Amino acid sequence: MDLIDPFGRTIRDLRISVTDRCNFRCTYCMPEEGMKWVPRSEVLTFEEIERLARLFVERFQVDGLRLTGGEPTMRAHLPVLVHKLAALGVDLSMTTNGSTLRHMAHELRDAGLQRLNISLDTLVREKFLQMTKRDELERVLDGIEAAKEAGFGPVKINAVVERGVNDDEIVALARFGRDHDVEMRFIEFMPLDATGHWLNDKVVGQDEIVAALSAEFPMELVPARGAAPADRWRYLDGRGMVGVIPTVTKPFCDDCDRVRLTADGQFRTCLFATTEFDLLKLMRAGATDDQVAAEIQRAVGTKWAGHQINQVTFVRPRRSMSQIGG
């Protein structure tokens, strides 16, 4: 059966955080002093992830699974999980910071991973160090090349744009995408930073991003975005595509088909949800598949119409991005 929320939206995409740990300390995801990690015993096992994924795919016709973190490649034996999930026969992708892909890309591809999104917010070494607390820009750039060599395509590069931080690199990042045959996707700065200092005036909106790009590279809008989060443009000279995810200035909640599972087994119906449903506890208490499926249906029945950012009713989630999964 289809999994349908109260507003008639059919759930087709499950984002699975396989770990809350990361090898970077990006201010967007975690405070500079670091975080208290979830104990291993409280993290979903591969078998539990596979069980839940199978329920979503076989019972609710979900056709897309995305592995996230934290940084998913920090989860030991990740290709084993990829192999288990690839057997479900749906679109299987992963979001990563790319720093370990030189060592893992071919193994992940061989295990059945189909697509990669790699986070890259700056091309400036000093700024990268400032933003991530790690001097690993070259490793990330090499990881992008490794992903291409392993046969992932198109490789998509995610850049969160924050005013006064990296908004001066919009054109440079787009040029990087064009020159390296990867698709840049610019993401508006959202109120999920670990420091809790998000302000609306730090948001560089879609219109501003597109204006900067169009002034340098003539392009045309690609219609029919559907449920995908990114609006996309095609370069008129034929050198690829670029996307913008306008979560703040042009919310796409009406078309949202995504739900999320955190590393500690909490089911979330929205990235900005303030309520979670504990599937880990339910499974470890001996719940049957029917009982777990009923809880999933109950949870989806509470899915919001929209996240309400910039409205007086907006309530900031208690978890940051690294704890939720992108």
| Among candidate residues 70, 52, 71, the one with its CA nearest the CA of residue 14 | 52
Structure tokens at 110: 């061989």
For residue 312, the model assigns a pLDDT of 47
Q: Does 276 map to a domain?
A: yes
Number of domains in the chain: 1
Share of the chain above pLDDT 90, in %: 71
Predicted confidence (pLDDT) per residue in 252-308, tens digit: 778 889 999 999 999 999 877 788 999 999 999 999 999 999 999 999 999 987 665
294 within some domain: yes
Domain annotation covers residue 8? no
Q: Which of 214, 159, 210 has its CA nearest to residue 183?
A: 159
Is residue 222 in a domain? yes
Tokens 């989630």 appear where? 317
CA distance 119 to 197: 21
In three-state secondary structure terms, 28 is coil
Each residue's pLDDT tens digit, 157-204:
999 999 999 999 999 999 999 999 999 999 998 765 555 555 678 899
pLDDT of the residue at 259: 96
Domain limits at 187?
A: 13-324
In a domain, 2, yes or no: no
* Mean pLDDT value of segment 219-235: 88
pLDDT at 37: 67
- Please report whether residue 228 resides in a domain: yes
| CATH number (domain holding residue 151) | 3.20.20.70
Q: Report yes or no on 319 lying in a domain.
A: yes
Tokens of 198: 């998000």
